[in-house]
Structure 1
Amino acid sequence: MGKRKQRPTRLSDPRLIPSWIGVGLFWLIGQLPWSILLATGRGLGRLAWHLAKSRRHIATTNIRLCFPELSEEEQQDLAHRCVISTGEAILEMAGSFSNHRIKLDKRLTIKGMEHIKKAQADGKGVLLLGMHFNSLDVGSRLLGYVHDLHAVYRPNDNPVIDRLINQGRLNYVKSIVDRADIRQMIRLLKRGEVLWYAPDQDYGIKHAVFVPFFGIPAATITATSRIARMSKAAVIPCAHYRLPGGRYEIEFGPALDHFPCGDDEQDTARINKTIEHYVRKCPEQYLWVHKRFKHQPNGAKLYR
């Protein structure tokens, strides 16, 4: 067998020229007026529904599993709206990262800020329980308007894309922390900082337990309770929603009381239940195009 080709790691690697061209186009698209940007994103989402069959299948499967109370027609409609919303999110990312003229803070409503103020008045760091709504990147910009914070992320395998995301987010957050760097997270929280951290994706079964998410076993990392226990931080839910007319809302929930309880499985199940509560408020804006149930305790393949 031949050697497997290594991924490019240098930004100057010729294999990354298409990525650089894509980033340039991304920047140009980001200069569009916000209303046109979102409308274009919705058009992209409608196109993706027909062309991106794999992502459509993933979204449809997730919706079918998580919303069994809906009729088949209602499930299909929700999956369709989810893919359209994801298209909006891609174009939002372009505008959020590259269009600094738009005053997004003027389009923002905030709920629950008192929960962060109370935690800090008590001398605690704040671990924001983030959620993968598809407005994630516009959300990072909006959160930066609300409070100084640090954000946890997973490095992208493509160094050009990784640079785009890092530079885009660093315009609005104090720092970004590799999700593997638990020590840095704890240091920041012990200093009383605010740290955004989202545990609601399937990162594999290592350091994870299977607990329900919308009633379906979901491999969920247990690091949230470990970070909270070691840092003594308040864990505060943080959701962000796209509203009609290009407006946005950030909602902070009350700090989780008696958390962690000392039982990783109970703590992680509580995290999933909390996230589910906020997702149900606007389910079409959640990142259902991700294989949330990729790993199953019985080895079942739900996305076949």
Structure 2
Amino acid sequence: MQFLIYIIVYPFLWFTSKLPFRLLYLVSDGLYILLYHVIGYRRKVVNNNLRLVFPEKTEKEITAIRKKFYKHLCDMFLEMAKTMSISEKELKKRFKITNPGEFKRLESLNKSIILIFGHYASWEWSIVLQNYLNFKGYAVYKKLANHHFDKLVRDIRSKFNTTLISTKETISIINKNESNGIKSITGFLSDQSPRLSKDVYWNEFMGINTPCFTGAERLAKKLDLSTAYLKVSKIKRGFYEAEIIVLAEDSNMYKDYELTDLFLKEVEKQIHKAPEYYFWTHKRWKHKDEFSK
């Protein structure tokens, strides 16, 4: 069944990747009508999230953000498919690093780097980062249940020499590289909701008490790595800019959870500025009612 689904979906993805951008976004417009107006994909989740974090906004304002978000979501999905065939030159034009010298400065410290992302704007096209680095690039991801699509995602995201690794592999791979004198930069999407446990860290994100993912910070401290945030902004349709914001050259100089808080504050600032580019379909605040228990 997994293979059957794959062979049905793959031709659509491949064909989409070959479309010129003008046609790609026409398809995205059609997909938006289907996803938003016909299917109503996860609209309840999106509505609940938006009303939760923006209680001061009117229903008209919430609706405007919601529609813009779904248009962006469709663009991002098709842009991910476009990555299958996009050239390095085209991707560099559409995903620009505004301060690449900051990577070089961090690399000059001769310490491996943890690079934290949020689910904001576009994290898919950040695979072009390896072309600005001397360090070996890794991206931590969650394996897909369908191993055919899992391989496809790994192939797409590894196109420009970034290597995808699972959470379980991360520490052993970085340790092995450090033992062999190989410095690396490892990317984490760190604004998701972790599993609940007795010692989970809680703090406010967008004004709501919620458990926070701290794996990137803990790893940076355990292995004595630098920590940075990749601030990705959408400039216009199909064009993004990314800024490297250094959170800590020496992560162990910060108190526990302080780097996690700094990262989340950066994501919050972007959400307040342009909320339509955050990934509202995730149940980010699903555990909020567990805080006082």
The TM-score, its normalising length taken from structure 1, stands at 0.84
Give the distance between the partners of 2:201 and 2:5, measured in 1 at CA: 39
Match of 1:204 in 2: 195
> Is the CA contact 2:210–2:291 (under 8 Å) kept in the aligned structure 1?
no
| 1:185-231 deviation line (CA, Å, top 9, x unaligned) | 54277432111111111232147322111011222222122111022
Match of 1:10 in 2: none
Matched, 1:237 2:223: no
Matched, 1:298 2:290: yes
Match of 1:41 in 2: 28
> Is the CA contact 1:116–1:236 (under 8 Å) kept in the aligned structure 2?
no
Matched, 1:220 2:235: no
Match of 1:130 among 106, 114, 117: 117
> Is the CA contact 1:131–1:198 (under 8 Å) kept in the aligned structure 2?
yes
Shift of 1:126: 1.5
Q: Which moved more, 1:159-168 or 1:252-261?
A: 252-261
Amino acid aligned to 1:204? R
> Is the CA contact 1:170–1:176 (under 8 Å) kept in the aligned structure 2?
yes
Q: 1:246-285 to 2 correspondence within 5 Å?
A: 246-256=238-248, 259-260=251-252, 263-285=255-277
Give the SS at the match of 1:210: strand
Give the SS at the match of 1:280: helix
Match of 1:73 among 47, 60, 65: 60
Identify if the C-alpha distance between structure 1 residues 278 and 179 changes in structure 2 by more than 3 Å, giving closer, same or farther: farther
Amino acid aligned to 2:12? L
> Is the CA contact 2:17–2:85 (under 8 Å) kept in the aligned structure 1?
yes
Shift of 1:261: 5.6
Amino acid aligned to 1:159? H
Q: Which segments of 5 or more consecutive residues in structure 2 lack a partner in the other structure?
A: none
Identify if the C-alpha distance between structure 1 residues 258 and 102 changes in structure 2 by more than 3 Å, giving closer, same or farther: closer
Give the distance between the partners of 1:70 and 1:256, measured in 2 at CA: 35
Match of 2:130 in 1: 144
Shift of 1:258: 6.5
Q: Which moved more, 1:78-87 or 1:238-247?
A: 238-247
Give the distance between the partners of 2:5 and 2:226, measured in 1 at CA: 43
Give the SS at the match of 1:127: strand
Q: Which moved more, 1:56-65 or 1:204-213?
A: 204-213
Amino acid aligned to 1:19? Y
Q: Which segments of 5 or more consecutive residues in structure 1 lack a partner in the other structure?
A: 1-13
Shift of 1:184: 3.2
Give the SS at the match of 1:155: coil
> Is the CA contact 1:132–1:198 (under 8 Å) kept in the aligned structure 2?
yes
Identify if the C-alpha distance between structure 1 residues 131 and 173 changes in structure 2 by more than 3 Å, giving closer, same or farther: farther
Identify if the C-alpha distance between structure 1 residues 265 and 100 changes in structure 2 by more than 3 Å, giving closer, same or farther: closer
Identify if the C-alpha distance between structure 1 residues 39 and 188 changes in structure 2 by more than 3 Å, giving closer, same or farther: farther
Match of 1:5 in 2: none
| 1:25-44 deviation line (CA, Å, top 9, x unaligned) | 11111100023213322331
| 1:237-257 deviation line (CA, Å, top 9, x unaligned) | 102233225322112113336
Match of 2:47 in 1: 60
> Is the CA contact 1:116–1:126 (under 8 Å) kept in the aligned structure 2?
no
| 1:66-125 deviation line (CA, Å, top 9, x unaligned) | 223322211221111111100111110110123448722123332232332222111121
Give the distance between the partners of 1:265 and 1:65, measured in 2 at CA: 24
Match of 1:7 in 2: none
> Is the CA contact 2:113–2:228 (under 8 Å) kept in the aligned structure 1?
yes
Shift of 1:297: 4.7
| 1:272-295 deviation line (CA, Å, top 9, x unaligned) | 223222333432122111111122
Percent identity of equivalent pairs: 24
Give the distance between the partners of 1:15 and 1:115, measured in 2 at CA: 43
Match of 1:8 in 2: none
RMSD: 2.6
> Is the CA contact 1:64–1:75 (under 8 Å) kept in the aligned structure 2?
yes
Identify if the C-alpha distance between structure 1 residues 102 and 110 changes in structure 2 by more than 3 Å, giving closer, same or farther: closer
Give the distance between the partners of 2:263 and 2:280, measured in 1 at CA: 18
Give the SS at the match of 2:196: coil
> Is the CA contact 2:177–2:184 (under 8 Å) kept in the aligned structure 1?
yes
The TM-score, its normalising length taken from structure 2, stands at 0.86
Q: How many equivalent pairs are there?
A: 286
